Amino acid sequence: MSGTVYLVGAGCGDYDLITLRGKELLAHCDTVIYDALIDPRLLDFAPDAEKICVGKRAGLHSAAQEEINALLIQKAAAGKQVVRLKGGDPFVFGRGGEEILALQAAGIPYSTVPGISSCIAAPELAGIPVTHRMLSRSFHVITGHTADDAADFSQYAGLGGTLVFLMGLRALPQIVSGLLAGGMPGDMPAAVIASGGTPQQRVLRSNLSEIAEQAKEMQPPALILVGQTAAFELSPTVRLPLSGVSVTVTGTAAFTQRVQTVLRGCGADAYAVNHLQIAKKCEIPPLSQYDVIALTSRNGAELLMQHFRDTRTDLRTLSGLRFAVLGSGTASVLEEAGIYPEIMPAQFTAAALGSLLAETDARRILLLRAEQGDPVLTERLAAGRAPFDEVHLYGTAPNPAAQPQEIGTDYLVFGSASGVRTFFAMGYTVSPHTKIVCIGRQTAKAAGTLPVITAEPHTAEGIAAAVIKEEEHETLSQTAQL
């Protein structure tokens, strides 16, 4: 039985500009065949899929269009659900029509998912409207890249409205000379937008006669606008505290996703390195012999909740149990099930939880945590003569799908000591300019001699606060040097 090919527009720039339908298809597909210009974080939406890059970047094509067509047919004919992930929209200079014709000829089922094209999105994100009342009643999208490099750009000079040239940076001198030859005035506003919709976006505003000379240092991907609206500057004036700051978060998928969400809310360009995966080590013992259950992480709490679901435990039978947790994140997992912890230290540290538990009148405490947990917790319990059983419920293991690389973002985040050790053991390296942020002293200690920023409190919000504080310190230092 044949599979289906879905031509999905990835949108313009950042990964989160994809449509909900596109994201859903990525989550359930077998194979992703993608272009070079997409945000690589989009591939995180398809964690279990086969991923094939086919290039399609000006001057750097890694596969001919005929080869891409054949690959789509091959994968679908083998019964795969295939997402053909294309930058922008599949039908706006994306050669999506050619791919569909090939699929039709081969009898392969297909569907399309529109994407936000860069021809409107990149100008909008740069503060340039492609239409504006009384100034531009139309806009025209034109390819600046042709197979024979013999385009006659003078024919567009009298169109009026806003001219948007895609893939035209290398042809900018020809575009300018053609428009001028066609009668367009040299003082017509013009703009070049490079890497639109990303943190690397760069915008150059000028006029038609000068734009080509001024844009010589700009790099593709880029688009060119010519028309009265190109002079507009309608970019947002609100700047988030981490705008322009790049952060890589390491750890398990659940941890990196949680921290990325908070960092992006602060304006950061956040990436994930999911180099760890959770490995359950043992079963949870019968709870009847305990009156306090202590959990030190979201992972332990989620495994406990899964245990209740697997054993069909009626939560009403837990009325005699008290729950102790380390951190608001751990507490939130229980609270989602209607269980509200009675014991949580104000400081989210193992030492604070150990001291608090040692002061309880517990008959017996069940400590469910990772196999490499901070020993200070059990030391505090033993010193306080609190009766307890420690169960190493889970551990972390290297993620076989991870691909070691050099991390060159402004910051690198670690959430555990084992995460630090595994990261470097797997062959990852860190750029000299990258600052390391760690949760807790044990994690910071595992970083060895590397300079470390320690996040307080030990939460995603604490990590964001630590990065913001460091950025503010850097800004003050740079100001003092002026």
Burial annotation 21-60 (CB, 10 A radius, 16+ → b, else e): ebbebbeebbbbbbbbbbbeebbbbbeebeeebbebeeee
Whether the bond between 114 and the residue before it is cis, its omega within 30 degrees of 0, is no
CA distances from 449 to 13, 383, 423, 429, 444 (A): 37, 31, 15, 15, 9
Q: Is 23 a catalytic site residue?
A: no
Q: Is 445 a catalytic site residue?
A: no
- Residue 66: exposure state from Cβ atoms within 10 A (0-12, 13-18, ≥19): exposed
Q: Which of 35, 39, 89, 269 is catalytic?
A: 35
Q: How far is CA 84 from the centre of its chain?
A: 20
SS3 readout for the chain: CCCEEEEEECECCCHHHCCHHHHHHHHHCCEEEECCCCCHHHHHHCCCCEEEECCCCCCCCCCCHHHHHHHHHHHHHCCCEEEEEECECCCCCCCHHHHHHHHHHHCCCEEEECCCCHHHHHHHHCCCCCCECCCECCEEEEECCCCCCCCCHHHHCCCCCEEEEECCCCCHHHHHHHHHHCCCCCCCEEEEEECCCCCCCEEEEEEHHHHHHHCCCCCCCEEEEECHHHHCCCCCCCCCCCCCCEEEEECCHHHHHHHHHHHHHCCCEEEEECCEEEEECCCCCCHHHCCEEEECCHHHHHHHHHHHHHCCCCHHHHCCCEEEECCHHHHHHHHCCCCCCCECCCCCCHHHHHHHHHCCCCCCEEEEEECCCCHHHHHHHHHCCCCEEEEEEEEEEECCCCCCCEECCCEEEECCHHHHHHHHHCCCEECCCCEEEEEHHHHHHHCCCCCEEEECCCCHHHHHHHHHHHHHHHHHHHHHHC
CB 59, CB 49: distance < 8 Å: no
Q: Which of 39, 75, 89, 167 is catalytic?
A: 167
Q: Which of 14, 39, 56, 344 is catalytic?
A: 56
Q: Is 56 a catalytic site residue?
A: yes
Which residue, chain included where needed, has tokens 């991870």?
A: 402
Catalytic residues: 35, 56, 167
